[in-house]
Structure 1
Amino acid sequence: MKPLWRINKYLYKYKGLLLLGILFTVISNIFVIIPAQLVRIAIDYVVESFSLFRPLTKGGMGEIARGIFLEFVFVFGILILVMALLRGFFLFLIRQTIIIMSRHVEYDMKNEIFEHYQNLPLSFYRKNSTGDLMARISEDVSRVRMYLGPAIMYGLNLLILFPLVISYMISVNAELTLYSLLPLPVLSLSIYFVNNLINERSEKIQKSLSSLSTFVQEAFSGIRVLKAFVREEDSARQFAEASEEYKHKSIELTKVNALFFPLIMALVGISTIITVYAGGMMVIQGEIGYGVIAEFILYVNILTWPVTSLGWVTSIVQRAAASQTRINEFLDIQNDIVSQENLEAILEGDIEVSNLSFVYPDSGIRALNDVSFQIKAGQTLGIIGTTGSGKSTIANLLLRMYDPTMGEILIDGKNIQRYSISSLRKQMGFVPQDVFLFSDTIANNIAFGLDHPDMALIEKAAKDADVYQNIIDFPKGFETMLGERGITLSGGQKQRVSIARAIAKEPKIMILDDCLSAVDTKTENAILTALKKIMENRTSIIISHRVSSAKLADQIIVLDEGRIIEQGNHESLMAKKGVYADLFEKQTNSGEPIEG
């Protein structure tokens, strides 16, 4: 139970609903006990009345007596019906309090976890899979809600009903109470073990279903590759094998489920037989009346579900504790990327990087080694290098997705760690290498970084990114809905929309991380020409493996295995006839591929 203590704050927050739920449970259970007592009184009344009915019939008063007897029986019937309706009403109120409380807590928990996810650093997402993150905010939270809702509701019902019924049964006849309850502990233990089997097999089914879903998703996503390599039959065969495994596990679960209700009915039947037999012997001996047997049979049936639910509730609590442990693991992770002073200032754009080294904490890979450079406000820096040379790492460090292992980054003469992180990033425009567009309209994707979207600004950004004409050619223009990850657009269009999104922020510092790799040379030149105007009075960093993208920069650095091997402007680096000149020569002679 210890992991579940974490959610006591929610129980305290919604204590009003919880206390009302407890009150309604007590009242509901009172209306459970009273009908059984009324049945006993009614049966004893009928038995005693029947013994008087024959003499009265012989005395000519049979019809009058019969009418009086029926009137009393009718009154008892009405009272029992009223008790049942009142119990149903309070059961409704119990669900309207405790179950609704659990839904409120579920809502709060999901918001808390999602907000915590948003605040965690990029290194956290490199270590954890998206599927695991999704499972903790959906499946694990749902299991905890089952503890807060049904488990608490049925647990309270058992804790309140059991003492009430047992104490009253003992007050009527202690010996018959013992006989009546003999099978109930066996029932509870049996249900506990059956539930564990059900849960175990259910989890196996969930894993199997997850694998099946992943297989289908990959098959649909990669349908072009499947068809190109003529692997349709092989894919169908693999799906059939995965489906066979899922079917087998589902049948195993169905077999266990088939035990559940027969087990309950058998043990309840045994309890009823014992009650009738032992009660019958006591009636013969004159210790109790006929009505007590009927009353005790009703009590056994009343206690059956709470006792049955004990095993089920125990299982729910165990699963909830395991899920809350998993949730707590993530909630306990703290963001180590924090601001030292929360300094909020309008940036000019001077950037100075001194002796910068960085090792990725999750993999231990040294991405940068003693890198130093300086950019004056309004200047453009080009960073050239092969794959894995550390180009994107510099972008991540400037955006403060990570903190450097050694060295420092100064912006306007102040250490980057002094600035408020949100204030810093709001004044930076970033175009990532791996473009991500949301399943929303093109206009909303471009306006993503704006607090107050302006259509004129969105259109201007689209024109500057050389994607305006493509957008207005769509039937719905800027209101065109993009598919998952922007699948509606071509690779080049996606990158240009991503550039427009960064431009629309009107940032002080622009970082373009190899963002022109999916466009042809002609489009690249058109975008660079537009960007040249946009970059005026803005500090810009163009990261690329193409020399053509960086040649317009005021200064260029060439990276190799995390070190700067050459530094200067285009003319000086060409004059050196080193790595940069060699790259320029090769790329110019080979020609850039034209994307269609």
Structure 2
Amino acid sequence: MKELKHLNKYFKKYWLKLFLGVLITIIARIFSLVMPSYVNKSIQAVEDFASDVISLSDAKGLLLQYILIIVGAAILSGLFTFLMRQTIINVSRYIEYDLKNEVFDHYQLLSLNFYKKNRIGDLMNRISEDINQVRMYGGPAIMYGIQTLTLFVCLIPLMFIKAPTLAAYTLLPLPILSVLIYQISKIIHKRSTKVQEYLSTLSTFTQESFSGISVIKAYSIEPRINTELRGLAQDGKDTSMALAKVNAWFFPLMILLIGISNVFVIYIGGRQYINGEIETIGIIAEFILYVNMLTWPVAVVGWLTSIVQRAEASQKRINEFLKEEPSIKNQVKTPTPITGGIEFRNVTFTYEDTNITALKDVSFTVEAGQTVAILGKTGAGKSTILDLVARLYDTSSGEVLIDGVPVQELNLDSLRSSIGAVPQDAFLFSDTIENNIRFGNENATHDDIVEVAKKAVVHKNIEGFAKKYQTILGERGITLSGGQKQRVSIARALLKDPRIYLFDDCLSAVDTETEEEILNNLKRVSESKTTLIVSHRVSSAKNADKIIVLDNGSIIQEGTHEELNNTEGYYKDLYINQLSGKDS
């Protein structure tokens, strides 16, 4: 259970509720122990009446008294059982809430490399299914565990006090049961881990299938996907059945051993009563009730073992991610002001997952308020420059400086809050268009949103929808065209009104006329802002204060549009090709 030690901090946090719950559990179980002894007394009262020891009226009075005590104890036991669930089970929900927040917060801290190495379905399964398994340990396992322990501690000594020999025979099957549970629990642990791993695989497969449904339909590969899913489902069935078969042994074994205990009670108790070793036959009835009271606790031992083993397997998977250290850490806790000056000094960067060197000894300077365009072929390292400015990665060597300060020495929240980024693949949430734009500034008014939508030349498109700005987008903005998604993403960045704009080929899906209108609007908006524009089009770059041309991770040209257009090289060739309408 070493993996479950992670939950101790939550148990400490809610110790008062847990303590109260444990106390109530003990009280509830003690009240439940009243019934068997008064059943014995009731039978004894009948025997006394039959033997003329007491009168009929006395026997009726005693029976009524005992019945009232039994009913009262049952009501009190039920009331305290209700209160027990209201405390301990609630604590398990609090722990589930806290643990989900902890995992999600940690997910957000982890760097992009982590998400390249792990699949979304697995991340989702660990924060949902795995945490649900852990919750069962933090609530029901504790509640039923305390119930079982209380009954064992109170009931077994009581049985030995009343009839030692009969108690010994009655409890004889329990050690056998303990050994069987220990052996089975080891198998459960292994198979539980396999089940959780399978659920992650299934979540990943279905998530990717639904996200890529347009590709699946376009290539007409539904039969192949169905075949793969059937294979996964079969593996899942086999894995789950292997676990279910082991779990299926618990209750039959317990019922068998409890049945043997009942046989011992009747046979041994009957012989002792005949031999005069016990005074009343009511003790046999009392012990039968005790045995049946032990049925559920003994059965729960197996169930609890299964819960703990599954929780331990799930918490181990959760801990694997919680132990992941983010490669990008906020080393400065106090906010730092950002003006917008950017400098790259001999920057080299290699992607950890692919070992591809995207930038090689790159150096350039961008003054605060300047607009710089970055051009180059696919894979030249253009997007990597933007990622390094936003400190989504740290350089392999060299330095990235903002306002003359290395980015590692800036407050990370201050840096990123001063940046308005529009990625190449515009990401929109399954929400209204208005809320997607408001993501840039949660305090923005509707008029503010309309204004930036006009600057991004998407307002007319939005007004054409039936619900206009309240139109709900599909997952990843699937309701919109590629160009519309890009322009909504631009509007979001404009609404943020940052010190630095990072535009990563964000006009690739719009026509040249719309592009020109957007660029003119951006030029007015970003007059005092530092702007980096990554593009494949000269039209997006020609009005920039400076143009940087990359090839294979190195700067091969740098200057203004006029300077580069008058120099033989990549930029001039690209300009001539695009001007003549050729595909670059």
Does the pair score TM above 0.5? yes
Secondary structure at the counterpart of residue 353 of structure 1? strand
Cα displacement (A) at 1:471: 0.8
* Corresponding residue number in structure 1 for 2:318: 327
> How far apart in 1 are the matches of 2:115 and 2:231?
33
Secondary structure at the counterpart of residue 287 of structure 1? coil
The code of the aligned residue for 1:512 comes to F
* Corresponding residue number in structure 1 for 2:18: 18
2:88 aligned to which of 98, 105, 113:
98
> How far apart in 2 are the matches of 1:246 and 1:331?
26
2:255 aligned to which of 238, 255, 265:
265
TM-score, normalisation: structure 2: 0.92
CA 1:562–1:237 in 2, change beyond 3 Å: closer, same or farther? Answer: closer
Conserved? CA contact 2:359–2:381, under 8 Å: yes
Secondary structure at the counterpart of residue 439 of structure 2? helix
Cα displacement (A) at 1:487: 0.9
CA 1:364–1:470 in 2, change beyond 3 Å: closer, same or farther? Answer: same
CA 1:237–1:410 in 2, change beyond 3 Å: closer, same or farther? Answer: closer
* Corresponding residue number in structure 2 for 1:41: 41
> How far apart in 2 are the matches of 1:346 and 1:241?
55
CA 1:254–1:337 in 2, change beyond 3 Å: closer, same or farther? Answer: closer
The code of the aligned residue for 2:579 comes to T
Question: More displaced, 220-229 or 309-318?
Answer: 220-229
Cα displacement (A) at 1:201: 6.1
Count residues with an aligned counterpart: 583
> How far apart in 2 are the matches of 1:330 and 1:248?
27
Cα displacement (A) at 1:493: 0.2
> How far apart in 1 are the matches of 2:348 and 2:322?
30
CA 1:259–1:351 in 2, change beyond 3 Å: closer, same or farther? Answer: closer
CA 1:590–1:374 in 2, change beyond 3 Å: closer, same or farther? Answer: same
Question: More displaced, 487-496 or 153-162?
Answer: 153-162
Q: Where does 1:165-244 land on structure 2 (aligned, <5 Å)?
A: 165-190=155-180, 221-233=211-223, 235-236=225-226, 239=229, 243=233
> How far apart in 1 are the matches of 2:364 and 2:18?
62
Per-residue CA shift, 1:112-157, capped at 9, x if unaligned? 2222222223233223222222222222222221111111111112
* Corresponding residue number in structure 1 for 2:101: 111
* Corresponding residue number in structure 2 for 1:420: 411
2:72 aligned to which of 69, 82, 92:
82
> How far apart in 1 are the matches of 2:85 and 2:30?
17
Secondary structure at the counterpart of residue 355 of structure 1? strand
Conserved? CA contact 1:21–1:94, under 8 Å: yes
Question: More displaced, 554-563 or 256-265?
Answer: 256-265
* Corresponding residue number in structure 1 for 2:502: 511
Conserved? CA contact 1:29–1:160, under 8 Å: yes
* Corresponding residue number in structure 2 for 1:60: none
> How far apart in 2 are the matches of 1:580 and 1:518?
22
TM-score, normalisation: structure 1: 0.91
Cα displacement (A) at 1:559: 1.0
> How far apart in 2 are the matches of 1:23 and 1:263?
31
1:398 aligns with 2:389: yes
Cα displacement (A) at 1:400: 1.2
> How far apart in 1 are the matches of 2:308 and 2:25?
20
Cα displacement (A) at 1:433: 1.0
Conserved? CA contact 1:187–1:308, under 8 Å: no
1:7 aligns with 2:27: no
1:68 aligns with 2:97: no
Conserved? CA contact 2:332–2:412, under 8 Å: no
Secondary structure at the counterpart of residue 294 of structure 2? helix
Cα displacement (A) at 1:452: 1.4
> How far apart in 1 are the matches of 2:226 and 2:277?
73
Conserved? CA contact 1:342–1:418, under 8 Å: no
1:572 aligned to which of 563, 580, 584:
563
Cα displacement (A) at 1:77: 2.0
> How far apart in 2 are the matches of 1:239 and 1:411?
49
> How far apart in 1 are the matches of 2:118 and 2:210?
25
Cα displacement (A) at 1:383: 0.7
1:529 aligned to which of 520, 523, 527:
520
Conserved? CA contact 2:196–2:314, under 8 Å: no
Question: More displaced, 377-386 or 44-53?
Answer: 44-53
CA 1:379–1:320 in 2, change beyond 3 Å: closer, same or farther? Answer: same
> How far apart in 1 are the matches of 2:233 and 2:87?
41
Conserved? CA contact 2:358–2:381, under 8 Å: yes
Per-residue CA shift, 1:181-215, capped at 9, x if unaligned? 11223334445666776776676666666656655
Secondary structure at the counterpart of residue 449 of structure 1? coil
Q: Where does 1:421-436 land on structure 2 (aligned, <5 Å)?
A: 421-436=412-427
> How far apart in 2 are the matches of 1:258 and 1:320?
19
2:328 aligned to which of 317, 337, 347:
337
Cα displacement (A) at 1:6: 2.4
> How far apart in 2 are the matches of 1:348 and 1:285?
99
Conserved? CA contact 1:196–1:315, under 8 Å: no
Question: More displaced, 569-578 or 496-505?
Answer: 569-578
* Corresponding residue number in structure 2 for 1:292: 283
> How far apart in 2 are the matches of 1:244 and 1:97?
40
Superposition RMSD in Å? 2.6
Secondary structure at the counterpart of residue 384 of structure 1? strand
Secondary structure at the counterpart of residue 69 of structure 1? helix
> How far apart in 1 are the matches of 2:432 and 2:324?
35
> How far apart in 2 are the matches of 1:443 and 1:32?
59
> How far apart in 1 are the matches of 2:289 and 2:454?
79
CA 1:209–1:322 in 2, change beyond 3 Å: closer, same or farther? Answer: closer
> How far apart in 2 are the matches of 1:120 and 1:306?
44
The code of the aligned residue for 1:48 comes to D
1:31 aligns with 2:31: yes
CA 1:345–1:169 in 2, change beyond 3 Å: closer, same or farther? Answer: closer
* Corresponding residue number in structure 2 for 1:377: 368
Per-residue CA shift, 1:67-117, capped at 9, x if unaligned? 432332232222212211211111111111111111111111111222222
Cα displacement (A) at 1:249: 6.0
The code of the aligned residue for 2:456 comes to A
2:484 aligned to which of 493, 496, 500:
493
Conserved? CA contact 1:436–1:486, under 8 Å: yes
> How far apart in 2 are the matches of 1:385 and 1:436?
24
CA 1:355–1:2 in 2, change beyond 3 Å: closer, same or farther? Answer: same
Question: More displaced, 118-127 or 241-250?
Answer: 241-250
Secondary structure at the counterpart of residue 576 of structure 1? coil
Unaligned runs of 5+ in 1: 57-64
Cα displacement (A) at 1:21: 1.2
> How far apart in 1 are the matches of 2:104 and 2:221?
40
CA 1:15–1:133 in 2, change beyond 3 Å: closer, same or farther? Answer: same
- State, as a whole percentage, how many aligned pairs show the same letter: 52
The code of the aligned residue for 1:435 comes to A
> How far apart in 1 are the matches of 2:409 and 2:194?
49
Secondary structure at the counterpart of residue 443 of structure 2? coil
Cα displacement (A) at 1:294: 1.1
Conserved? CA contact 1:343–1:418, under 8 Å: no
The code of the aligned residue for 1:20 comes to L
Conserved? CA contact 1:349–1:538, under 8 Å: yes
* Corresponding residue number in structure 1 for 2:120: 130
Cα displacement (A) at 1:442: 1.0
> How far apart in 2 are the matches of 1:67 and 1:272?
34
1:158 aligns with 2:148: yes
> How far apart in 2 are the matches of 1:518 and 1:134?
32
> How far apart in 1 are the matches of 2:142 and 2:501?
54
> How far apart in 2 are the matches of 1:429 and 1:221?
26
